[in-house]
Amino acid sequence: MNFLGLRTLNDTMNRFEQELAAALAELEGRSLLRHLRNVDSAQGARVLIGGRSMLMLCSNNYLGLAGHPRLRDAARHALERYGVGAGASRLIAGSLDPLSRLERRLARFQGTEAALVFGSGYLANLGTITALAGKGDVVLGDELNHASLIDGCRLSRAEVRVFRHRDCGHLQVLLEQSRQARRRLIVTDAVFSMDGDCARLAEMVELKHRFDAVLMVDEAHAIGVLGPGGAGLAADLDLGQEVDVRIGTLSKALGSYGAYAAGSHMLAEFLINRARSFIYTTGLAPALAAAAEQALAILEEEPERRRLLLDNAEYLRDKLGRAGFRIAPTQTPIIPVMLGDERQALAMAAALFERGVYVTAIRPPTVPPGTARLRVTPTAEHTHADLDEVLTAFVESGRELRLIG
């Protein structure tokens, strides 16, 4: 389909539509236009797209749980007993039991006093930051933080200071400059979502203590992946008790939807009273909570899933690197294949798609200008044969586009 053709200005459009069409045409001219792609199966190592079985290498379904029979069963049972929707905000219509159960299990999983479930990671970050920081406070965030953290900072009305990526020297300077603040809140991704590298949590904890600041860590890509039992990066570094607020999603390795903030009883109670994205939105659907609880059980019973995931990532990262692609060396399942130019990233994704491999081109504003990439993420369910197929497709496509020799 010719999308530019569709958006060519014509006089059947009213002024509003013409303005939108012009903005979209401008995006397309810069190779920044995005489209939805229809998928006709559950998420998994392979998905069905347009009647074709495609190798899926761009989901966050790290452990292959999104389509797992036990999650489906748990969701089905909760659906039978509790119905579909939660009815209203949990503060208004009551808190359905699967959510309370999940929260107890999450607190045990994170080794915290409490956990509070939100509708999504985006909502958890928005609500938590705006509850914890306001006028007179300073929020300090890594420049590559996830958009939901950035939006939370913007919405908080606190002063926002951005430090260079993983640069704790810079963070220290900014902390020194904000001594006048009522509260200083340090906010970071644990695993950076588009780069796969990890925050320097040990240094951040040290700075947090030195400057009497509060530390909030978004473990979205670390939960189910890193640390003992998949409890995340802070747990991996034995810093769980030093981090004041940990955010985790139920939507990535845990294969469901929703998210949580984990910390003290006081934190949970405060968020129940102050986090607007908790108060003014309907509770998470009970079937999703039940599925997430089941995912935590599988995580505990089948630790080999995490090993398979990390082995697969290492296997693919190593082979892509040897084939001549520019790969950042990380310890997580996120493998960024750096291409720089948006058109090249799109061309590479299209060439891979023709060869049966689904990887989306990641472009600005998701990543900084000039750093377009393919973000490749294997799951625990891919076999080495699958990954060899992926590799062949990469090598053929890379040669066709003269990206590798």
Instruction: At 319, list the tokens.
Output: 């082979």
Q: Between residues 283 and 398, which has the closer beta carbon with respect to ligand PLP? A: 283
Tell me if 102 sits within 8 A of 292, measured CB to CB: yes
Query: Where along the sequence are the contacts to ligand PLP (CB under 6 A)?
Result: 120-122, 125, 146, 148, 189, 193, 218, 220-221, 249, 251, 259
Smallest distance from the beta carbon of 134 to ligand PLP, in angstroms? 21
Secondary structure (H, E, C), 200-256 = CHHHHHHHHHHCCCEEEEECCCCCCCCCHHHCCHHHHCCCHHHCCEEEEECCCCCCC
Tell me if 4 sits within 8 A of 35, measured CB to CB: no
Q: Between residues 334 and 357, which has the closer beta carbon with respect to ligand PLP? A: 334
Burial of 36 (0-12, 13-18, 19+ CB in 10 A): exposed
The one-letter amino acid at 317? R
Smallest distance from the beta carbon of 250 to ligand PLP, in angstroms? 7
Smallest distance from the beta carbon of 241 to ligand PLP, in angstroms? 22
Comparing C-alpha atoms, which of 146, 217, 197 is closest to residue 331?
197
Tell me if 133 sits within 8 A of 155, measured CB to CB: no
Query: How is residue 2 annotated by DSSP?
Result: -
Tell me if 261 sits within 8 A of 118, measured CB to CB: yes
Query: How is residue 327 annotated by DSSP?
Result: B
Smallest distance from the beta carbon of 385 to ligand PLP, in angstroms? 29
Smallest distance from the beta carbon of 155 to ligand PLP, in angstroms? 15
Strand order in the sheet with 245-249: 114-118, 259-263, 245-249, 214-218, 184-189, 138-142, 159-163
Answer yes or no: 382 catalytic: no
**Residues belonging to the chain:** 405
Q: Between residues 219 and 386, which has the closer beta carbon with respect to ligand PLP? A: 219
Smallest distance from the beta carbon of 146 to ligand PLP, in angstroms? 3
Q: Between residues 162 and 323, which has the closer beta carbon with respect to ligand PLP? A: 162
Out of 68, 146, 208, 221, pick the active-site residue: 221
Out of 252, 256, 382, 397, pick the active-site residue: 252
Answer yes or no: 193 catalytic: yes
The one-letter amino acid at 287? A
* C-beta nearest to ligand PLP: residue: 121
Which residues are catalytic, by number? 193, 221, 252
